[in-house]
Each structure stands twice: as structure tokens, then as C-alpha cells.
């Protein structure tokens, strides 16, 4: 049953076997062996799988009629990763550094994949985003003009308000002391990876 369940979970996030291997710190051949029921993960890796997908460990090894049966309907929270660094090669966003997990109400994350980043510095202070705040991001590759987006520039994550003009992207901070950045839309060093959904204030 684990082979079927891990395959369903991987596909639900549109991940390749290589993507999942990077997230879990295992080889691609290991993922392949799991999905062919040739091998099973060790306890520590099972914990990672459970946390990453927000699925109870025991349910990974039980027969499920549907993907949604993997999720405990009585549990009103899900663990989401706090992402420190990503790679975006070949058009695929892969979390390379995960700084932990945050329990999140399921009502916050209906529709689409979500993750957290932690604010650093004061570049978005006028949007009430302060250093250390957790920022809930909905994973998507574009935003509407003027929305706040999580953006990667050379695999580092930034949070900026996005404006578009002709073939230019303007990345605007919410701090008058920080000038905007101007990028072309075909600049391979920049990529929108998500839209800001919620600020979790650091107390």
C-alpha cells in the first residue's frame, strides 16, 4: 500500500521522482524502488514524508480508496514547510533548504499547494511585514499587477510587490528607502514562485 500512496502523494504535487528525492535527501532510485514496492523507507524518512505531505505516518501504509482519504478529516491542521532556499531549474521549483515545519489550519490552505518563508529585514515594513514574520505563500508562477509575490533571484527568495510594464517586471519594496528593481520578463535569473496569502506575526 505504501508504494501506491507515495506515488499518489508525489503526483498530487506534480513532482518528479527526482524532485521528491531532493526534498527527502535520498536517491532517485530509492523513490523508484518505493513506488515499485521493492523497498520501504526507514523511520526517519517516514517522518519526513509525513511532515512534508501533512499525512499521518500510519496512513502511509494503509489502503486508501482516494487520495483525500490519506488526510485525516478529524485533524484540522497540516504541517507546511518553512523554506529557506529553492532551486528552479528546468521550470520546476524544488525546495533545497527546509528550516522546519509549521502547523497550519487547513482552512487557510484550501486550493493549491502552500509553503512558508520567513521575512528577513525591513524592505516590506510598510506592508506590515516585519523581520522574523512567517509568510504563508500559495505556490503559483504568476500574480496580478500590484500583488505581493515570493520571487527567486539566483535561487534566493525575496518578497516584493510586482508590477508589469511592457516586457519589464518592476519589483517594488514597501520601504521608501529601498529603490525598486527592474527586470525583463525573460530574465532567467528571476522567477515568481508564489503569492502572499497571510502574515503570521512573530510574537
**What grid cell was written down for 28?**
532517485
List, for residues 109-146, the tens digit of each pLDDT value.
Answer: 877 889 998 888 889 999 988 888 889 999 898 999 99
In the chain, the largest separation of any two C-alpha atoms, in whole Å, equals 58
CB 48 within 8 A of CB 6: no
Domain boundaries defined on the chain: 2-70, 77-200
Say how far residue 53 (Cα) sits from the centre of its chain: 11
Average pLDDT for residues 88-110, to the nearest whole number? 71
Amino acid 74: pLDDT: 47
Q: Assess whether 123 carries a catalytic annotation.
A: yes
Amino acid 203: pLDDT: 46
| Rounded Cα gap, residues 177 and 54, in angstroms | 40
**What grid cell was written down for 115?**
509553503
The helix-helix angle for 17-24 and 28-35 (nearest 10°) equals 110
Amino acid 50: pLDDT: 85
Give the per-residue SS3 of 77-132.
EEEEEEEEEEECHHHCCEEEEEEEEEEEEHHHCCCCCEEEEECCCCCCHHHCCCCC
Specify the DSSP element, H or E, that contains 79. Answer: strand 77-87
CATH class entry, domain 77-200: mainly beta
- Selected catalytic residue, list 123, 138, 173, 195: 123
- Selected catalytic residue, list 138, 160, 173, 195: 160
Amino acid 99: pLDDT: 84
| Rounded Cα gap, residues 148 and 151, in angstroms | 9
List, for residues 46-92, the tens digit of each pLDDT value.
Answer: 888 988 887 878 788 877 645 555 555 545 778 888 887 655 454 45
| Rounded Cα gap, residues 1 and 76, in angstroms | 25
CB 31 within 8 A of CB 39: no
**What grid cell was written down for 146?**
500590484
Q: Quick one: which of 162, 167, 127 has its CA closest to 145? A: 162
Amino acid 202: pLDDT: 54
Among 72-81, 100-109, 177-186, the least confident range: 72-81
| Rounded Cα gap, residues 1 and 70, in angstroms | 11
CA angle centred on 56, ends 53 and 59, rounded to 5°: 105
**What grid cell was written down for 104?**
497550519
Amino acid 156: pLDDT: 80
| Rounded Cα gap, residues 187 and 170, in angstroms | 12
List, for residues 2-36, the tens digit of each pLDDT value.
Answer: 898 899 888 888 889 999 999 999 999 999 999 99
* CATH superfamily of the domain spanning 2-70: lambda repressor-like DNA-binding domains (1.10.260.40)
Amino acid at each position: 500500500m505504501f508504494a501506491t500512496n507515495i506515488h499518489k502523494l508525489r503526483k498530487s504535487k506534480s513532482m518528479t521522482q527526482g524532485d521528491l528525492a531532493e526534498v527527502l535527501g535520498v536517491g532517485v532510485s530509492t523513490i523508484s524502488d518505493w513506488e515499485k514496492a521493492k523497498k520501504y523507507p526507514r523511520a526517519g524518512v517516514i517522518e519526513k514524508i509525513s511532515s512534508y505531505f501533512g499525512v499521518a505516518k500510519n496512513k502511509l501504509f494503509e489502503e486508501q480508496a482516494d487520495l483525500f482519504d490519506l488526510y485525516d478529516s478529524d485533524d484540522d491542521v497540516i504541517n507546511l514547510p518553512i523554506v529557506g532556499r529553492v532551486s528552479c531549474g528546468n521550470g520546476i521549483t524544488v525546495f533545497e533548504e527546509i528550516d522546519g515545519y509549521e502547523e497550519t489550519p487547513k482552512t487557510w490552505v484550501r486550493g493549491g499547494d502552500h509553503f512558508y518563508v520567513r521575512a528577513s529585514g525591513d524592505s516590506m515594513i510598510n506592508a506590515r511585514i516585519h523581520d522574523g514574520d512567517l509568510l504563508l505563500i500559495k505556490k503559483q508562477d504568476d500574480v496580478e499587477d500590484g500583488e505581493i509575490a515570493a520571487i527567486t533571484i539566483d535561487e534566493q527568495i525575496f518578497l516584493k510587490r510586482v508590477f508589469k510594464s511592457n516586457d519589464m517586471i518592476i519589483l517594488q519594496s514597501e520601504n521608501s528607502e529601498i529603490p525598486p528593481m527592474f527586470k525583463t520578463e525573460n530574465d532567467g535569473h528571476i522567477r515568481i514562485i508564489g503569492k502572499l496569502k497571510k502574515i503570521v506575526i512573530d510574537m
